Every structure is written in structure tokens, then in C-alpha cells.
Amino acid sequence: MKPILDYSIYLVTDENCLHGRSLFKAVEEALQGGVTLLQYRGKAKDGAEMYRQAAALKALTDKYHVPLIINDRIDIALAVGASGVHLGQEDLPCRAARNVCGNDFIIGVSAHNEQEAEQAVADGADYLGSGAVFGSITKTGVNTLGVSNLARICQSVNIPVVGIGGVTADNYELVLSAGAAGAAVVSSILGAADIGKTVRRFKEIYHSVKEYGKI
């Protein structure tokens, strides 16, 4: 049975943000703080190292009952028993991935405009990652989407949309108010001096916005 995910605080790993700290220690602090979904991204690593890290993260996310998504690599996701995979526009097409993974596997797709969003839905995506909403310090050469374009993507589809790119506790409310189900966050959590406190701040904002009927 396909899991129902909470996209509100969606942490994406990037070891360049850790300031020398252990990836696993940082992720555990984030999980303790209330991260609701974890995506493992290990683009620069070979398959063996990705598998090792992904398996260790799967054990950690299981401990906190949080689903694990693997970036790009369907083989790694299936090998470690992750809940799903996130695919970019240059990765294996969503429809082909669905043929490999089956209907109970979560597939997220990056969508930068309404056309890509609608195509991803037609191809069977479960959720969209849309950005870079406010630019990005972890990726170079990306275009800024903006809140208004994020809102248009959210309005164009009937599946959850996650805003990504430059999201911090200071602008998180704007992402939610645009209609997003949550935000994918990288450096503002993993690079924080106090990771747990930062995640709790995101959680407070989410519940505050939800309580006042903005989402």
C-alpha cells in the first residue's frame, strides 16, 4: 500500500552544508526536531557509497518513523527499501520509473513550470518539487521561480507541490501561502548552528499558518 506522506518539512541532504559535522548526526538532530520527510541526495558518490549511506539513513529514518526518498537512483531506493524516488527532468521519465517500481512506490518529479507539472501528473507522479523559489546556494545556474509562479503550479495540478530553493524560516510562510504542501529545505537546516531548534521553528510556522486557515 502506498504510504501517505507529510511534505511539510522535507529535508534534502547535502554534505557541503554540514561545516564538518557528521551527516548522520545532523540528520538525526533534524529528525528529532520534527522533519517529516527525508531525501538522500548523493550525486557525487559512486553506487557502493550511495548504497552504504542510504542504508544507514534508512535505519535512522525507520527509528523516527519518517519516510525516506532517494534522489535520482531508483536502484538504490529499491535496494534499501526506501518509500520512493525523486526524479529530475533529465532523469528516467516518471512513466518508465512507474513501470519499474509499481504503484505502491512514491515518485516525485521536479517541475519548473505548469507544463512540466501537468506532464508529470499525466505520467503518474505522486508529488512535485518546484523551484528554485528563492534561488539556491546549493546549486549553480538555476533560475528563480518566485512565489507567484509557484502558486500557478500549485493551482494547475491536483497532487502535492513542494517548494524548494532558498527556503528559510523567514520565507517559509510564503511557500505555504502559495498553496504548497510544504518546503524542501537544505542549507537552512543542515547549515544551522542548532539544527533541532531550526526545525522546530519551521514546525511552529507550519502549524501557525495552518491554524489561521492560510493553507
**Is 110 a residue of the active site?**
yes
Phi, psi for residue 84 in degrees, rounded to 5:
-175, -170
Catalytic residue among 83, 110, 130, 188: 110
Q: What are the tens digits of pLDDT across the range 196-210?
A: 999 999 999 999 998
Residue ranges covered by each domain of the chain: 9-211
Q: Does domain 9-211 have CATH number 3.40.309.10?
A: no
- Alpha-carbon distances, residue 89 vs 77, 119, 136, 144 (angstroms): 18, 11, 17, 16
Q: What are the tens digits of pLDDT across the range 143-155?
A: 899 999 999 999 9
Kindly write down the DSSP assignment for every residue of the chain, as one continuous string.
-PPPP--SEEEE--GGGSTT--HHHHHHHHHHHT--EEEE--TTS-HHHHHHHHHHHHHHHHHTT--EEEES-HHHHHHHT-SEEEE-TTSS-HHHHHHHH-TTSEEEEE-SSHHHHHHHHHTT-SEEEEE-BTB-SSSSSPPP--HHHHHHHHHH-SS-EEEESS--TTTHHHHHHTT-SEEEESHHHHT-SSHHHHHHHHHHHHHHHHHTT--
Catalytic residue among 8, 41, 73, 187: 41
Catalytic residue among 2, 52, 63, 139: 139
Residue holding cell 501557525?
208
Cα separation, 113 vs 184, whole angstroms: 17
What are the mean pLDDT values of the chain's consecutive 10-residue runs (215 residues total)?
A: 94 95 97 98 92 98 98 97 97 96 96 97 98 80 89 98 97 97 98 98 95 63
